Amino acid sequence: MQELNEFLQIIDSNIGGSEWFVFLLLGTGFFFTLYLKFPQIRYFRHAIKVVQGKFDKAGDQGDTSHFQALTTALSGTVGTGNIAGVAFAIHLGGPAALFWMLVTAMLGMTTKFIEVTLSHKYRDVTEDGTMAGGPMYFMKKRLNIKLSSGKVINTGKWLGAFFAVATVLSSFGTGNLPQVNSIANAVFSTFGIGKMVTGGILAVILGFVIIGGIKRIAKVTEKLVPAMAIIYFIGALAVIFYNFENILPSISSIIGDVFSGTAAAGGFLGATFAFAFNRGVNRGLFSNEAGQGSAPIAHAAARAHEPVSEGLVAILEPFIDTILICSLTGLVLLSSGVWKDKLENEFQYAEMKVLTGLYSDQSVEDKEKLWDYLIGDNEVAFFDGNLNVVNGQITDAVTIFHSRSVAESVKLTKDAVPYTGSLHVATGDVDQTKGITFTGKSLLHSAPLTTVAFTKSYFGEGGKYIVAIGLLLFAFSTVISWSYYGDRATTYLFGTKAVIYYRIVYIVGFFLAAFTDTTIIWTLSGITIAFMTIPNLIGLLILRKEIKSTIKDYWIDFKAEHPEVKIPE
């Protein structure tokens, strides 16, 4: 597992985790924001009216309403990215990472607008009468190369196929595996229910929902999304106001650390500007998926007589998902203070290294060495050989480095009994075959960190139940929506008859991921996101003139049909 995770991290660091990917994502959003003169601001109020159905026409073609398309797309984005993803971003990049998540969302509102508009414009009606759309369809129809001789090379068809394959992979890496993994972890830590039991029960429910297709999915999500948002808002506000004296310092740290980076605090070893920027943008994309090309697949099913109105609906997604919900989660984590505290937990092997010698995060020199190791500027000495363990305590002069922090009060057990004996370690990696469990105090991240933060509230320990329920609803709705995205991608690649096989694999994968290592799943999600995002953004940039003219035509027609309505300036 450790070797696999390290291999995936190398791939991710050169694609989704690289600087060029971040600049491609933000650059595209920034370009279209200027090119279209800040549509996310000018059209915001109009978008609310559209989603309310005020400009609908009888006979509009599609499978869902504007509101159902919005909630289906939101259920695909409002998930572990809002609960676990924010915690992971702050764990890696400090408070400033939240700032870059919000910047990503602001620019992402424009990106969502244009990608949904274009995908809705080129949607198809499938052989079973349902709508199918998404970036793969505009790629197939508009990104072919026409030679001077008049011959057309079908590059768009193959680019669309690449995107569709990436969508199928991402339906597992983004919408399926990390979602159920976070659910199972939260339910286990909160209620003590086994991860396999949680995965099995939810897999059965998932099967009943997704077999009904987009219409059943839309009916579920239009009720589920508002309900889960209310529950989560109440829980988050209870934490923030309980720690009201930390509200202003928390906001100050988000803004104040943007260009300076975050200094070491508690068990947190610090973060540079570049690291906060990269992780904030990366997790921001994971949260709202702007530019990834997933939401256009849901919006393509909406009833509309032209594409721009559905694009306007999509403007609201990053605002709700990231600017509202992720900001709440960030303030919960920062105001409670738990993001920099070492807390009791069970260590994951993939996040653990055994270092030769004793390190202390109370020592400035040691902290600098460890931080340089984290960012790859130097190497530390990894332990090689056999660890001696007596009654659960390591007797050798070593440091257990877990979750980017120096672990404390480390205990080793086997079958819940303190372990005595030797344990082989190779280049800092512990032999996993003996089934030894490591526990102790270290930094937390993802859903476990948010769970602890929610207990620092008026609800006390009851706060963790809000996270468990919220995570269950958020993440499960994401799994449902992403099954539809993979469904449509499979239809594009192999036709409607292949969809049933995709759904079976999707449900089986969902079950297995409930008890699979979290770190590997998060790393995999970053890779699959990039594989969808890159061709989608390139296609949007190539078709920029068509996008602008399509929007212009919409406002001309709208003004003619609704002369009484003031056109956004």
Q: Are 334 and 246 in contact (CB under 8 A)?
A: yes
Quote the mean pLDDT of the chain.
88
Model pLDDT, residue 17 = 67
pLDDT, tens digit (0-9, with 9 covering 90-100), for 57-105? 877 788 888 888 888 888 777 766 778 788 888 888 889 888 988 888 8
Q: What is the pLDDT of residue 313?
A: 93
- Alpha carbon separation from 417 to 194, 391, 393, 405, 436 (Å, rounded): 20, 9, 12, 26, 10
568 lies in some domain: no
Same-domain check for residues 329 and 362:
no
**493 in any annotated domain:** yes
Q: What is the pLDDT of residue 116?
A: 94
Same domain, 396 and 473: no
Q: Are residues 329 and 363 in the same domain?
A: no
CA distances 197 to 53, 189, 299, 452, Å, are: 42, 14, 34, 23
> Are 473 and 415 in a shared domain?
no
pLDDT, tens digit, 9 for 90 and up, residues 323-338 = 898 899 999 999 999 9
Q: What is the 3-state secondary structure (H, E, C) of 325-368?
A: HHHHHHHHHHHHCHHHCCEEEECCHHHEEEEECCCCCCCHHHHH
377 plus 276 within the same structural domain: no
85 and 217 inside one domain: yes
Indicate the angle between helix axes 2-14 and 518-542, nearest 10 degrees. 20
Residue finishing a domain among 442, 473, 494: 442
Is the confidence at residue 237, as pLDDT, over 70? Answer: yes
The reply to whether 407 and 459 lie within a common domain is no
Please tell me the total count of domains within the chain: 2
Query: What integer pLDDT is reported at residue 516 of this predicted model?
Result: 75
User: What CATH number should be reported for the domain holding residue 326?
Assistant: 1.20.1740.10
pLDDT computed for residue 389 by the predictor: 95
Q: Is residue 447 part of a domain?
A: no
Q: Which one has a higher pLDDT value, 73 or 506?
A: 506
> For residue 107, what pLDDT is reported?
93
Q: Is the pLDDT of residue 569 over 70?
A: no
**Residue 517 per-residue DSSP state:** -
Q: What are 252-309's pLDDT values in tens digits?
A: 988 888 887 788 888 888 887 877 887 787 777 667 778 889 889 989 888 888 899 9
Is residue 226, in this structure, part of any structural domain at all? Answer: yes
- Residue ending a domain, choose from 418, 442, 466: 442
CA dihedral 391, 395, 401, 405 (to 10 degrees): 80
Q: Between these two residues, 263 and 249, which has the higher pLDDT value?
A: 249
Where does 2-54 have alpha helices with state H? 2-14, 19-35, 39-42, 44-51
pTM: 0.82
CB 387 within 8 A of CB 396: yes
pLDDT tens-digit series, residues 518-541: 567 667 777 888 888 899 999 999
On whether residue 448 sits in a domain, the answer given is no
Q: What is residue 142's predicted lDDT score, i.e. its pLDDT?
A: 92
Q: Per the structure block, which two tokens stand in for 131?
A: 């709508």
Residues 158 and 249 in one domain: yes
Task: Check whether residue 262 and residue 389 sit in a common domain.
Answer: no
Specify which residues 131 forms β-bridges with: 125
Is-contact 122 492, C-beta < 8 A? Answer: no
Read off the pLDDT band of 113 (50, 70, 90). very high
Measured CA to CA, the distance from residue 74 to residue 379 in angstroms comes to: 43
3-state secondary structure of 56: coil
Q: Kindly state whether residue 244 falls inside one of the protein's structural domains.
A: yes
| Host domain of residue 116 | 2-341+454-561
**pLDDT for residue 491:** 93
Complete DSSP assignment for 132-175: E-SHHHHHHHH--EE-TTS-EE-HHHHHHHHHHHHHHHHHHHTT
The answer to whether residues 35 and 175 belong to one domain is yes
Instruction: Give the integer Cα–Cα distance in Å for 96 and 100.
Output: 7
405 shares its domain with 465: no
125 bridge partner residues: 131
Asked if 452 and 332 count as a contact pair (C-beta separation under 8 A), the reply is no
**Residue 567 maps to a domain:** no
Q: Pick from 389, 408, 442: which residue ends a domain?
A: 442
Res 41: pLDDT: 94
Which of the pair, 464 or 121, is modelled with greater confidence? 121
Whether 148 shows a pLDDT value over 80: the answer reads no
Same domain, 310 and 218: yes
pLDDT digits (tens, 9 = 90+) for 394-424: 999 999 999 999 999 999 999 999 999 999 9
Please check whether residue 449 lies inside any domain of the structure.
Answer: no
Burial of 9-29, coded b for 16+ CB within 10 Å and e otherwise, reads beebeebbbeeebbebbbebb
pLDDT the model gives residue 291: 87
What is the model's pLDDT at position 218?
81
- What share of the chain in percent tops pLDDT 90? 45
The whole-angstrom separation of Cα 439 and Cα 345 is 6
Average pLDDT of 5-22? 77
* Strand 408-414 to 417-418 pairing: antiparallel
